[in-house]
Amino acid sequence: MGEFVLSEAKRCLQCKKPLCKEGCPVSTPVNEIVKMLLEGQIEEAGEKLFKNNPLSIVCSLICPHSKQCEGHCVLGKKGNAIQVSHIENYISDYYLNLIPTKYEIDKNKKVAIIGSGPAGITIAFILASKGYDITIFEAHDKIGGVLQYGIPEFRLPKEILYKIKEKLLNMGIKIRPNTLIGPTITIDDLFRDGYKAVFIGTGVWKPRGLSIKGETLGNVHFAIDYLKNPDVYNLGKKVCIIGAGNVAMDVARTALRKGSREVIVIFRAGEEHVEADKVEVEYAKLDGVKFSYYSQPLEIIDNGIRVIKTEIKKAEDGIDTVYGIEGSEEFIESDSVVIAIGQGPRTNIVSSTKGIEVNNRGLLATDSTGKTSREGVFASGDVVTGAKTVVEAVKVSKLVAEEIDRYVNSL
């Protein structure tokens, strides 16, 4: 690994206008950290990466690099782009043990963070470094949100999250696991107890259904639930997955690793319409996942699923419509069916709190700085945007952290 990282770093052209940096949502200074690494300044390089992106170690593993830094590398136009992800991971992994944790905490500057996913962790790191007294409220027993419960171990080793938790605790951040805000503890309770601001980064954990017959059968599961703990499921030897996003790819590859022998992804359009990153689809194919394109589910039964073949008709307004082809019904045998067509937000907070507006998708409505319609309440991440990449959550959350800081200091 070290030899490969070194050889990749030496290929960097040190462009005066680094396109790799421009391709990154958080403008990771790739050319600068590469130069530092080659000059023996790995700790300084790690510090620069961490200050720019507190979740650099995570993003180095799970970002869609081919669309971002590596996809913009000038060397990739005629040859092989520099594997920025490997360089970033090497440096970030080294620096993970060196992240500073000694800060003087101001007990009069309490901030509550609801949710310990990418947005919440980013906010916590930034505000803790400014001396804030932070408490994280996490509904699950482990921190990480989608990083912990939505991304398989083979893509993101959970040891990284354990180290991040250790750093958060060493910074004086308090974590309350298994605490769902809304039913018992409310936003009003938090303000009553002296929190100057509340940040909501609860993600999207409510699976979307198909609304077709058979969805309640015992052999049907939702993808986001399956990924939380695959070991408690018995999917059988043959599995059908409905949907073709990154979550569907994670479920498919996980199922094969947990004993299923045949996994079929069912998608109502063609491969060119697949929402999953191209590299994730390629990995799925390498693992043996099969794809049934232009197939739309009609009904789930105990031993499989009935589908109808589809076609797409282009519309003048640019919105394509999927139609079922009459007489083209098929039956696909399977032991289990996993529905992976997206998630939405839960309502436990907004249903127990006055003054927090949501949009027509149920997502929290905020301005560009993360302010909600409720004074002192901020939000970012998937609960605002819907399911997006980790680095996009970090980008916005950095701005939100600065706005929270300005707000609290103005009180």
DSSP strand pairing (197-200 vs 106-114): parallel
CATH class of the domain comprising 207-339: alpha beta
CATH 1.10.1060.10 domain extents, the chain: 2-95
Per CATH, which fold does 106-205+345-410 belong to? FAD/NAD(P)-binding domain (3.50.50)
Q: What is the pLDDT along the chain (411 residues), one digit of tens a residue?
A: 678 999 999 999 999 999 999 999 999 999 999 999 999 999 999 999 999 999 999 999 999 999 999 999 999 988 999 999 999 999 999 999 999 998 999 999 999 999 999 999 999 999 999 999 999 999 999 999 999 999 999 999 999 999 999 999 999 999 999 999 998 999 999 999 999 999 999 999 999 999 999 999 999 999 999 999 999 999 999 999 999 999 999 999 999 999 999 999 999 999 998 999 999 999 999 999 999 999 999 999 999 999 999 988 876 665 577 878 889 999 999 999 999 999 999 989 998 998 999 999 999 999 999 999 999 999 999 999 999 999 999 999 999 999 999 999 999
For residue 363, give the DSSP letter.
P
pTM: 0.94
Per CATH, which fold does 2-95 belong to? Fumarate Reductase Iron-sulfur Protein; Chain B, domain 2 (1.10.1060)
Residues contacting 46, CB < 8 A, separation 6+: 91, 92, 94, 95, 98
Count of residues for the chain? 411
CA 370 to CA 214: how far, in whole Å?
40
Spell out a b/e string for 279-312, using b for 16 or more CB atoms within 10 Å of the CB, else e. ebbebbeebebebbbbbbbbbbeeebbbbbbbee
CATH 3.50.50.60 domain extents, the chain: 106-205+345-410, 207-339
What tokens appear for 287 in the block? Answer: 């693992």
